[in-house]
Amino acid sequence: MLVHRGFVAGLLALGTAVASGMSAAPVWSEPGLLDPVYVFYPRGSCREERIELEIWDREAEQWGRHPRHPEVPVESCQLEDAGVLLQELRWRCIETRPVDVPATWVVGLDVFNPRVMERCAVDAPVAQGGLEIEITSPVPGTIVRGDVPRTALEGSVHIGGAKGARYDLVIALDVSQDTGPRQGTPDVFTAEVDAARSLIDQLRHRLGAVRIGIVTFPNLRMARNDPGGTGARREIALTDDPYALDRAIRAIRARGPGSFQSFSSGFPFAVAELLGENAGSGARDDARKVLVLAADGRSDVPFGPGAGELPRFVAKTRAAAEKAAAADVEMHFFALAGIAGDAPAFAQEAGASFRRVPEPRLGTTFLRLVSLPYVSDVKVTDLRTGKPLADLRLEADGAFRATLPVERGANRVLVEAVGSEGQRGQREVVVDFDDSLIQEALLAAERERIRKIRELQGRVEITPEESELRRP
């Protein structure tokens, strides 16, 4: 059974086409897809890992090989064109071992299966949380006293419950031999490296506040059967040097994939890099920690159905996930081009995001879906006058300071913040001002003025003669 997943409009269009029996002009001769939607191709009763596809030729009125992907992995999402009707695609198992009864063709699409529709979802951005505004001065609920009619309003904007825009980001890449191109399989290795470079380019203008490190697994020692191998390799420590990052990417590409999957060692190594447990990692105590990990999703480990059946794998990955969660590490896992089902238990327990990247998406910069948000703007409006405060300074870490003109009693202001991802937050603040010091200063100044007048008058002697002279 084929299960179709796409935009709702595309689904409705396909359903309408089937119901009415309408036909559309052939689209496969076009250079691109006119209305791309995802189709999920299941395993069904297949014993092998691939299926073959055919499409109905309307002019010849016969089935023919699919022109774009005549063979695809089972349990994979593929881009099709909504102009092709549901009954115009069919598939069957590819049998490499002798069988008594040849595989039969399966025709038809179950369009509205919610479980499988979710399997092909890859375009939603990773949620980062809303904005929270904290006022640090004056302390809410206290009365401000001052000898001038103004005070400093200070605070900070938190994103997703965390403060600051300084990030330590570790990118962990699966470079095992299974990621390399093989006959009939995609080149996961190249896709990973391209996506990592794209993410680095996206963050290049923020390097400084952002540091990036790269880890690969397995390492070369493990490939040489060295029992001391960790299963991971530091390609570059956390750095803000774009040229050093470029060199690291080129070195990974030149070396290529090799050895066996070592996720249960690579994942803990990447966590240790972020937490500064590996000597020379470059981790900062005051930076927010983010781990982005991409691995082959075509095998049972680490993201497939067999991941939960290996006790040693489960113990190591769960321990690393618990350590990362306790340290507030934000984790994003990408299962590439494969059979991954639901998020593995260790990812769910750690609160990590888990995303499947279907084979057609490997050509995209899928790691760009992860962002490191920051506060892009803060505005403070005096609700008494309706005017924004001109004297306001916003720091890179989301802290802000404004000078607020005040008068006796409650002074109300509105603080509004905007995040780099379009998040918005606001908070109304009441500053209760006691102007007694100003009044005391005014009275003191008046007393001083009178004293000086009297002192001056005491120094001047006015005689009658002088008084007579002053008469007009």
Residue 409, in any domain of the structure: yes
The residue type of 104 is T
Say if residue 174 is in the same domain as residue 142. no
Say if residue 184 is in the same domain as residue 253. yes
* Domain count across the chain: 3
List the helix and strand counts (H, then E) for the chain.
Answer: 10, 24
Say if residue 182 is in the same domain as residue 48. no
Query: Of the candidates 335, 369, 403, which is a domain's last residue?
Result: 369
* Ordered per-residue pLDDT tens for the chain, 472 residues: 233 333 333 333 333 233 233 333 333 333 345 555 667 777 778 888 788 889 888 888 899 988 877 887 777 767 677 667 667 888 898 887 777 778 888 886 554 455 555 555 544 444 455 789 999 999 888 888 888 888 999 999 998 777 788 999 999 999 988 888 876 677 899 999 999 999 999 999 999 999 999 999 986 554 444 445 567 889 999 999 999 999 999 999 999 998 777 888 899 999 999 999 999 999 999 899 999 999 988 777 788 767 777 787 888 899 999 999 999 999 999 988 876 667 788 888 888 888 888 776 777 778 877 888 899 999 999 999 999 998 999 988 889 999 999 998 999 999 999 988 888 889 999 999 988 877 776 677 777 887 888 878 776 655 555 444 444 4
Q: Ramachandran region of residue 2, left (φ > 0), alpha (ψ -120 to 50) or beta? A: beta
Contact yes or no for 38/77 (Cβ under 8 A): yes
Say if residue 183 is in the same domain as residue 330. yes
Q: What is the pTM of this model?
A: 0.64
Other C-beta atoms within 10 Å of 168: how many? 25
Say if residue 244 is in the same domain as residue 305. yes
Say if residue 216 is in the same domain as residue 344. yes
Say if residue 271 is in the same domain as residue 404. no
Task: Using the CB atoms, write b or e for 130-143: b if 16+ within 10 Å.
Answer: ebbbebeebeeeee
Say if residue 332 is in the same domain as residue 421. no
Residue 124, in any domain of the structure: no
Say if residue 246 is in the same domain as residue 331. yes
Say if residue 378 is in the same domain as residue 365. no
The residue type of 454 is R
Residue 154, in any domain of the structure: yes
Residue 248: CB partners within 8 Å, gap ≥ 6?
Answer: 214, 235, 236
> Which residue segment(s) compose the domain that 291 sits in?
166-369
Query: Of the candidates 119, 150, 183, which is a domain's last residue?
Result: 119
